[in-house]
Amino acid sequence: MTPDPLAEVVTLLQPKARFSKLIECAGSWRFDRKGTGDPFYCAVLEGHCRVTVDGQPPLLLQAGDFLLVPAMRDLIKESLDLPQEETSREPIEIGEGRFRVGGEDELSNLRIRIGHCSFGSPDVALLVPLLPHVVLARGESRLATLTQLVGDETLAHRPARELVLERLLEVLLIEALRCGCEAHNAPAGLARGLADDRVAAALRAFHAKPDYSWTIARLASEASLSRSAFFARFSRTVGMPPMEYLMAWRMALAGRLLRGQELGLDQVAERVGYSSSSSFSVAFARYAGMSPARYGQKMHLMG
């Protein structure tokens, strides 16, 4: 069976819903949020606003836009007509899952549904680097529908609620990453790499055999490109050089195997393409900041 790298990464992340809310804004307003490292998304239902993520150039959002930040950094959301002296204003709850900024007699200039979630995988620090920092999709009605479903399920208390939310969030993340990579200025990342037939061939080959002794030449052959053309094309679309991506995915797989504590170190090393446990241990410690044994114990306790 041909592997699906995007599905593998999102499934391993184990997305969990924390809360979803609908916010209406009127007048001039501004929200400042400190980075938490958790995933954040928002769907603009009506109106427009300006969003700044981690000090990067601001993004102008309008109705139909969907923004995903897989690991939220400092975030500023504000109205377009914001006076320079305007200070942050906190939304006031006006109903279950509904909040408002501005007086009720003021005309609303924005309706936005936002969601905060988390990744349940203990190996999240090894997996998130494979995703873009920011994903912006425009005019995709399916994303607005999915955020509505997540919001409804979050407020409800029906049987199998957590399972339904996990599946909805997996679909939402995959759909956002797929739609976001279709824009002409799409950010580099796994989804954009999979949208390129040549790069996708190499990605699928590696995901199918992570234990194989891959080299740039062998991956370039899978992509039917010269080594130099493959290296440049992969780095441009995925956002990191090929061997760096290979290292990241191998370490993510190793993290899962170590956490399970069902295999010995030699077996884990072999599963992720290392000929000896010592060379694997050195590589893993350099990447994860701790030895494989310590990582396995720590993550097993957390899980």
Per-residue pLDDT tens digits for 94-141? 888 889 988 777 888 899 999 988 898 888 888 888 888 889 999 888
Predicted TM-score (pTM) of the model is 0.84
Query: What are 73-77's contacts with CB under 8 Å, separation 24+?
Result: 73/35, 73/133, 74/32, 74/33, 74/34, 74/35, 75/31, 75/32, 75/33, 75/35, 75/40, 75/51, 76/30, 76/31, 76/32, 76/33, 76/51, 76/52, 77/30, 77/31, 77/33, 77/49, 77/50, 77/51
Q: What are the backbone angles phi and psi of residue 266, rounded to the nearest 5°? A: -60, -40
Q: In this predicted structure, what is the pLDDT of residue 84? A: 58
Inform me whether the pLDDT recorded for 62 exceeds 90: yes
User: What 3-state DSSP class applies to 285?
Assistant: helix
Q: 3-state SS string over 194-228? A: HCCHHHHHHHHHHHHCCCCCCCHHHHHHHCCCCHH
Structural domains for the chain: 5-180 (2.60.120.280), 196-302 (1.10.10.60)
Per-residue pLDDT tens digits for 178-223? 887 776 667 888 889 999 999 999 999 999 999 999 999 999 999 9
Residue 284 and residue 254 in contact, taking contact as beta carbons nearer than 8 Å? yes
Q: Where are the alpha helices (DSSP H) in the chain?
A: 5-13, 124-127, 141-155, 161-180, 190-194, 197-208, 216-222, 227-238, 242-260, 265-271, 277-288, 292-302
Inform me whether the pLDDT recorded for 230 exceeds 90: yes
